[in-house]
Amino acid sequence: MSQAASDLLHDLWVAGRRLDQLPAQLRPVTRADGYAIQALIERHSSSPLFGWKIAATSAAGQAHINVDGPLAGRILAERVIGNGGECRLQGNLMRVAELEFAFRMSEDLCPRASPYTVAEVMQRVATLHPAIEMPDSRLAAFERAGAAALIADNACAHDFLLGAACPPLWRSLDLATHEVWGYVGDRPPRSGIGGNALGDPRIALAWLANELSQYGATLRAGEIVTTGTCLTPLPINPGDRLRGDFGVLGEVSVTFA
C-alpha cells in the first residue's frame, strides 16, 4: 500500500494535478501509516534530504485543515529556491506564501525513548535563517483529508526558499515576540510574530525532533527545519513579488512566475 500511495502522490505532484482524496485501498489510517508513505518520497530525489517542514503550527492553521496538532513533512532539494529567485505557480492550488524561521542543524538527533528538551535541541543548531514556504496539496479536498492522509501527502510541502544565515545575535533574541512583515506588490503589508509557530520557533523545532524520534527517523546534521508561518498566509499570484522583512535578522524575497 505504501509504495503505491507514494507513487500516486508523487505522480500527481510532478504533473500538477490532484485527486479529491486517495483511493480507499491506498488511504492511510494512522499517523504511522502516513509517515511510512511520506518516507518513500525521498526515492524521487537525486540529492540528500534538504530538510523538514512543520504544518499547522497555529490553532487557526489546525482548524483550517481539521487536525488537532502539527504535522511534519520532507523538503526535497529539487524544490528549494535561492533567495531572490523565481517560483512558478503553475499547478499550485493553494497559492499562498508563509514567512518562517528555519534552523540548520549542526548534529544528528537520533530516535530515543525520552523526549528531547528545547535546550538539548537548541544545542544542536548551527544557524537560523529567514525563509518562505509555498505549500500545496495533491488532495483537492485537503481540508477534509485528515491528519494521516495529509502526512502521506508530505504535510502539503511544495516549494521552499531559504535566506542567508541570520547574524549570531539571534541567540539572544526572544524569537516568540520577534515581528515579521510580509509585503506583496502594492497591497497592504501583513505582520506577525515568531510565537505564532507553536508559541515559539524553538518549541516548534523541538516538536519536530520528537515527532521524528517517535516514528524512528533521525534529524540529521546539515538539514533545515522550517518551523511554521509567523503570520497569516499571504495570497500570491503570477507576477507578484514577495518580500519578507525579519528586521535585524534579514530579508527574503521571491518573484512568482
Domain boundaries, the chain: 2-256
Tens digits of residue pLDDT in 17-76: 999 999 999 999 999 999 999 999 999 999 999 999 999 999 899 998 999 999 999 999
The number of C-alpha atoms within 13 Å of 201 and in the hemisphere containing its C-beta is: 33
Q: Residue range 148-159: average pLDDT? A: 98
Distance CA(8)–CA(83), nearest Å, equals 31
Say if strands 234-235 and 224-229 run parallel, antiparallel, or are unpaired.
Answer: unpaired
Evaluate if residue 227 carries a pLDDT over 80. yes
**Residues contacting residue 170 through CB under 8 Å, at least 6 positions apart:** 128, 249
Homologous superfamily (CATH) for 2-256: Fumarylacetoacetase-like, C-terminal domain (3.90.850.10)
**Whole-number average pLDDT of the chain:** 97
Closest CA to 149 of 229, 225, 65: 65
The percentage of residues in the chain with a pLDDT greater than 70, rounded to a whole number, is 100
**CA–CA distance, 197 with 178 (Å, rounded to integer):** 12
The residues near 180 (Cβ < 8 Å, ≥ 6 apart) are: 99, 130, 191, 192, 193, 194, 230, 231, 244, 245, 246, 247
Q: Across-strand partners of 101?
A: 130
Which pLDDT score is estimated for 1? 77
Q: What is the pLDDT of residues 84-133, one digit of tens each?
A: 999 999 999 999 999 999 999 999 999 999 999 999 999 999 999 999 99
- pTM more than 0.85: yes
